[in-house]
Chains A and B, each alone.
Chain A
Amino acid sequence: MDNLLLILSKPDNVPIVMMMLLFGYYTWLWWREAKKNDTLITNGNYSVLQEEGKDKIFTWPYLVRNEFLAAILLMLILTVWSIVLDAPLEEPANPAKTPNPSKAPWYFLGLQEMLVYFDPWLAGVIFPTIIIVGLMAIPYIDKNPKGNGYYTWQERKFAISTFMFGFYVLWIVLIIVGTFLRGPGWNFFWILDVWDPHKVVAMTNVDLHQYFGIRSSLGAFLFGGFIVTAYFGLAVLYYFWKKESEFVKKLGVARYGLTAFLFLSMMSLPIKMLLRWTLNIKYVWVTPWFNI
């Protein structure tokens, strides 16, 4: 308990708690608005929505007024926050004294948490790049013309659930895990556990090929390469299976390929997590140059 209070009261962790509340609130707001619009659309009243969208008001005073109020409120909150809570300042920098655990700023803890499952070149370089490029690609691969400019759920189920999975589970939840549940040695501690720096964790992880009795490094290389290729090859299989479907047809080959690559890359994280938790898999593909 004391430990939890200690973590919670770290000044830099207060924003995380705030973020959790805000996300809860806005998700609820989205759901309410989406339901409202979805009911309209199901009843064939999309035109009502359109009409409302065309309704114009004066910027002055109606928008400027809201902006002004929002600005005052925000400055008020910020002022109170800055009076009540001091920014942290620890001991002077000392390169010879490594704290345990050493944590990145909280907004990068999702990436640091990925390091448990993937090597730094993937978790720290490739995945961030894929995230940024993938986000930028969204408007160009989402060919669904519906749900443009209003909240909805039923018209964009795949897009919204994929985005929410990535954003909530693989980003926000990992930040929370990294902040509250990772202690010395980046070991896992439940919320109420005491952070014991001498916690012993058995290193029983094995590589996937070892399960299959493969011993030579060439064998491991070929085997792992096959597994990874096969994983991304699922996209090709699915393509030929669903070639005639509306979804695949509308995308075209290039968009489909990019979408599938981004989707499978994203899903590789939860899959690797499951492999680690259930089978203690360390690497799926071992090569002399890199491991996955």
Chain B
Amino acid sequence: MEAFLNKMKDSVTKSQVWKSMFRHGYEDTPRNRYLQVLDNVWLHLHPTRIPRHGAYIRFTWCMGGITFLLFLVTAVTGVLLMFYYRPTAEYAFNDMKYLEFDVPFGMFLRNMHRWAAHGMVIAVWLHMFRVFLTGSYKPPREFNWVVGVILLTTTLLLSFTGYLLPWDQLSIWAVTVGTNMARATPLLGSEGPFGPELGMRPDNDVRFILLGGTQVGPPTLLRFYVLHCVFFPLFLAIFIAVHFWRVRKDGGISGPL
């Protein structure tokens, strides 16, 4: 029996098809441990060996990784939600109801998207906090901290633009409160310092550009939808790539010098 199984195994793992996919064996040798990371497009994000504390949760709090995972969750659930959601004032709210009552697992999908997004905001704050507390922004990682602040800001904007999409009372008023601030922008807002002097009116200042109108309305919904589903995710993905690249290039996870 065992001989037969071994033969079966060999006929699979020694086949051309198998070997074309997996380029090394699985025996527990140092060489294979290196190759396991190096040969894998996803894992080779990592170095093959890391300082011991890099794998300790008490050092990294695992928060950068958790932020990233939550971003992936929102990306996947977000794409699925896009199948059911139309960003127009006539349909948006009804599509929410549709998701809740008619789409199989629709509510679950929406919940997961929302809680992952909120979790991401918390995780990114915690990640920043731990990077601060380990002093990991100090040379040579100054620039990666700056990239991090860009990621933080983008995460918040991503969350904020998504907040509007359900098109219910909660969302439009939260976004109204938030975007009312733009009115007060110095020089560029109709109620900001020196704004009126420069000819800013409610129908031509920065808030108007942001909302596509003088109040949060259908054009705002479309604008925020495009920002939320296309612009900010792409922007974030690009900077996450830069961020990870720099973690490696700045000498890997920080440690006592």
Contacts and interface: CB of A to CB of B under 8 A. Distances in A.
Interface of A: 12, 15, 18-19, 22-23, 26, 29-30, 33-34, 46, 49-50, 52-64, 66-67, 70-71, 74-75, 78-79, 81-83, 85-95, 97-99, 102-105, 107-108, 111-112, 119-121, 123-126, 132, 135-136, 138-140, 142, 144-152, 156, 160, 163, 167, 289-290
Nearest to A58: B33
A59 B129 contact: no
B120 to A, nearest CB: 10
B49 A58 contact: yes
B218 to A, nearest CB: 10
Interface string B126-150: 1011101111111101110110010
A121 B186 contact: yes
A57 B55 contact: yes
Nearest to A48: B256
Interface residues of B, number: 101
B46 interface: yes
A29 B58 contact: yes
A58 B62 contact: no
Among A78, A93, A97, A121, the most chain B Cβ lie within 10 Å of the Cβ of: A93
Contacts of B51: 53-57
B145 A148 contact: no
Main SS of chain A's interface residues?
A: helix
Among A60, A102, A152, the most chain B Cβ lie within 10 Å of the Cβ of: A60
A148 B138 contact: yes
B174 A150 contact: no
Given A78-B116, A125-B184, A140 B142 contact: yes
Contact of B149 (A132, A150, A152, A156): A132
B235 interface: no
A12 B256 contact: no
Given A121-B193, A125-B181, A15 B54 contact: no
B139 to A, nearest CB: 8
Contact of A66 (B57, B122, B171, B197): B57
Q: 4 closest pairs, A vs B, by CB? A: A124-B181, A53-B255, A139-B142, A120-B184
Contact of A163 (B54, B70, B119, B132): B132
Given A22-B126, A66-B62, A108-B160, A149 B254 contact: yes
B256 A104 contact: no
Contacts of B136: 148-149
A81 B113 CA distance: 11
Contacts of A71: 65, 69
Nearest to B170: A90
B48 interface: yes
Among B93, B107, B167, B174, the most chain A Cβ lie within 10 Å of the Cβ of: B174
